[in-house]
């Protein structure tokens, strides 16, 4: 973890203020002051501020039910950031463990634990994400076979990993994937000459979305454990 991030997670200082503390020599790592804000620190390091030892606050793990029209971003743009839906302190220290498009709804996970995020979004971890997909055209048996076998998406070198497909009705399927490429679900169906008209993420790993749209809650310990 970066030193400035460690300070933010163990105090109420902002990233800018943390850099000022480091630059002024008020912070030590293992009794060394010749350090900078990007200096990498570890759990067993002794880190002090003005001679007082610092320790990390417990990490936060949040489920949010994203409505359409919100950006998966920490800042507002043309549309509002979904972080506006959180009424908690120190929102700037949180990040998204996997984004959704502006028009996509459903489960978003938010945390300040980078290692946990990596285990969720890294393709090598094979964490399953289930989407409810509304389609313009009927799903065909050939399309299901292609999805379950892996298919080539324009712009990507490798074929997609095999997906799981459950047909709800002719124009709606539950699609489970273990990757998270840019616009992947939409581009998978585009490659099959179909179009996604509605997209909703229902689960990530064993975490199931179970709160109303626009609301959020902290995850239980059993949900955090991957």
**Taking the alpha carbons of 116, 215, 73, 11 in that order, is the dihedral positive or negative?**
negative
Q: Is 101 annotated in the active site? A: yes
3-53 belongs to CATH 3.40.50.300: no
Residue 24 pLDDT greater than 80, yes or no: yes
Distance (Å, whole) CA 164 – CA 145: 10
Check residue 100 and give its pLDDT. 93
Overall fold of domain 128-204? Alpha-Beta Plaits (3.30.70)
Measured distance between the N- and C-terminal CA atoms of the chain, rounded to whole angstroms = 21
121-158 pLDDT, tens digit per residue, is: 887 888 999 999 999 999 999 999 999 999 999 877 88
Check residue 114 and give its pLDDT. 87
Query: What is this structure's pTM?
Result: 0.84
Overall fold of domain 58-126+209-226? Alpha-Beta Plaits (3.30.70)
Report the Cα 84 to chain-centroid distance in Å. Answer: 16
Confidence tier at 9 by pLDDT (50, 70, 90): confident
**Beta carbons within 8 Å of 139's beta carbon, 6+ residues apart:** 165, 167, 170, 171, 173, 194
Question: 75-83 long-range CB contacts below 8 Å, 24 or more apart?
Answer: 82/108, 83/110
What average pLDDT does this structure show over 39-57? 91
Partners of 96 in beta bridges: 110
Residue 38 pLDDT greater than 80, yes or no: yes
Spans of all domains in the chain: 3-53, 58-126+209-226, 128-204
Check residue 107 and give its pLDDT. 97
Distance (Å, whole) CA 157 – CA 19: 40
Same fold, 3-53 and 128-204: no
Asked whether the beta carbons of 62 and 204 are under 8 A apart, the reply is no
What average pLDDT does this structure show over 45-55? 94
Q: Where are the beta strands (DSSP E) in 37-93?
A: 47-49, 52-53, 61-66
Which residue is catalytic, options 87, 101, 113, 124? 101
User: Residue 222: exposed, middle, or buried by beta-carbon count in 10 A (0-12, 13-18, 19+)?
Assistant: exposed
Confidence tier at 200 by pLDDT (50, 70, 90): very high
Which residue is listed with tokens 């399953």?
128
């Amino acid at each position: 973890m970066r030193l400035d991030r460690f300070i933010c997670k163990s105090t109420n200082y902002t990233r800018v203020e943390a850099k000022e503390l480091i630059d002024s020599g008020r912070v030590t790592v293992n009794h060394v002051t010749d350090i900078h804000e990007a200096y990498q620190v570890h759990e067993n390091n002794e880190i002090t501020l003005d001679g007082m030892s610092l320790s990390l606050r417990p990490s936060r793990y949040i489920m949010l039910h994203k409505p359409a029209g919100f950006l998966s971003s920490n800042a507002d743009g043309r549309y509002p950031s979904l972080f506006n839906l959180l009424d908690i302190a120190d929102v700037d220290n949180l990040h998204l463990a996997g984004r959704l498009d502006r028009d996509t709804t459903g489960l978003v996970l938010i945390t300040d634990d980078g290692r946990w995020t990596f285990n969720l979004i890294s393709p090598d971890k094979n964490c399953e994400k289930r989407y409810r997909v509304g389609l313009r055209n009927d799903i065909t048996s050939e399309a299901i076979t292609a999805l379950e076998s892996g298919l080539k998406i324009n712009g990507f070198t490798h074929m997609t990993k095999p997906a799981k497909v459950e047909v709800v009705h002719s124009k709606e399927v539950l699609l489970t994937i273990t990757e998270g490429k840019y616009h992947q679900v939409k581009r998978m169906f585009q490659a099959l000459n179909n179009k996604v008209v509605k997209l909703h993420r229902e689960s990530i790993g064993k975490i199931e979305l179970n709160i109303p749209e626009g609301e959020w809650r902290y995850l239980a310990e059993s949900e955090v454990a991957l």
